[in-house]
Chains A and B, each alone.
Chain A
Amino acid sequence: MAPVAPRSGDAIFANIERVNAELFTLTYGAIVRQLLTDLEEVEEVNKQLDQMGYNIGIRLVDEFLAKSNVSRCVDFRETTDVIAKVGFKMFLGVTASVTNWDAEGTCCSIVLEDNPLVDFVELPDTCQGLYYCNILSGVIRGALDMVSMKTEVTWLRDVLRGDDVFELQVKLLKQVPEEYPYKDDE
């Protein structure tokens, strides 16, 4: 059977069911608001958003791999490229770009110009430490964790804090080799 060619992000996005981005934006806003009311501490909210993103990421990666038919990525460079071009397009309908590679090829930045999560949003003075889109960093971390890559994802630039784009730094900490969950001789 001939291998199926990987589909581009646009092609996949055109074929899957879509919903209005505003419903998505407003629901995310409701979640952040609920967290702020319950937890009150901005740091706690950041952590909770990251955790929620992680939970989403570990399940999202299955759907991503199933729908996009990408072949196994050879190195981290290809992985982040696929995340930015196919992953973001497939789920959020926006394309991201990858820049700022470091010398070893383990650290890069994913730059997002358009972000459906932050339409209509302005950070008040009381929440200046909040990473509003922290759920995205959790999603990427969770998804990569499930494909055996331990990463650290942090925000470098945030439009809500006055920068002009969103920039996420993705750093590969280590590649965990896949282990069988049982021993052969038992």
Chain B
Amino acid sequence: MIGVGKMKQYSNVLDKPLTKGKQEVSLSAFAFLFSELVQYNQTQVDNIGELERRLEDAGYAVGARVLELLCHREKGNRRETRLLGILSFVHSTVWKVLFGKVADSLEKGTEHEDEYMISEKELLVNKFISIPKDMGTFNCGAFVAGIVRGVLDSAGFPAVVTAHFVPMEGQQRPRTTILIKFAEEVLRREARLG
């Protein structure tokens, strides 16, 4: 039969049907790839701050695309306009799609109005990584912080997002917290919307 078994050729990648998002690769394939990303960036920078920034930039690109993909596929092209809406979108939908589970917790900062924290006991990207002592507070979770910043920025909620280790009693490995600090304009807009 003619045409059976041959993939239909699309001249434009935008014409291809969107995948359902159910395809999977092995965790080790991702871990190897991520380690190469970190190793490559280590050769390109002189200090930890630069390295974190580069990982964050890589994550930012991923985040922007994830938002577009998920908005189209999961939410039927509806846009979040409220702060809590976008935060719960990141905490549940984005985390579920990227890491297979919702984030462990979403908290509002007590000291500052504009700070929120998403915590995870063990970030997927940090699973096989151990930070040498001389790299201090470096956290490869900067990649995930970049993803979150990409999602928030593209959704119209500019923020500064960073990743921190928070040591927990009784646990050997520290918990990772993604700290989100929203820009002034976001809070003003949120106040106006009531």
Contact = CB atoms under 8 A, between A and B. Distances in A.
A22 B13 CA distance: 16
Given A22-B21, A34-B58, A27 B33 contact: yes
Nearest to A116: B25
A30 B62 contact: yes
A21 B33 contact: no
A19 to B, nearest CB: 5
Contacts of B37: 27, 30-31, 34
Interface of B: 6-7, 9, 12-13, 19, 21, 23-30, 32-34, 36-37, 39-41, 44, 54, 57-59, 61-62, 65-66, 69, 97-100, 124
A91 interface: yes
A78 interface: no
B58 A31 contact: yes
A60 interface: yes
Interface string A11-36: 00100111111111011111101110
Nearest to B19: A119
Contact of B58 (A20, A30, A92): A30
Interface string A26-57: 11111101110010000000001000100110
Contacts of A116: 23, 25
A52 B40 contact: yes
A18 B101 CA distance: 12
Task: Classify the interface of chain B: helix, strand, loop or mixed.
Answer: helix
Nearest to A23: B98
A92 B29 contact: yes
B68 to A, nearest CB: 10
Given A26-B66, A119-B19, A31 B25 contact: no
Contacts of B41: 34
A48 B26 CA distance: 23
A63 B26 CA distance: 12
A126 B75 CA distance: 34
Given A30-B58, A31-B37, A20 B29 contact: no
Given A20-B98, A22-B69, A22-B98, 4 more contacts: A23-B99, A27-B58, A27-B62, A164-B9
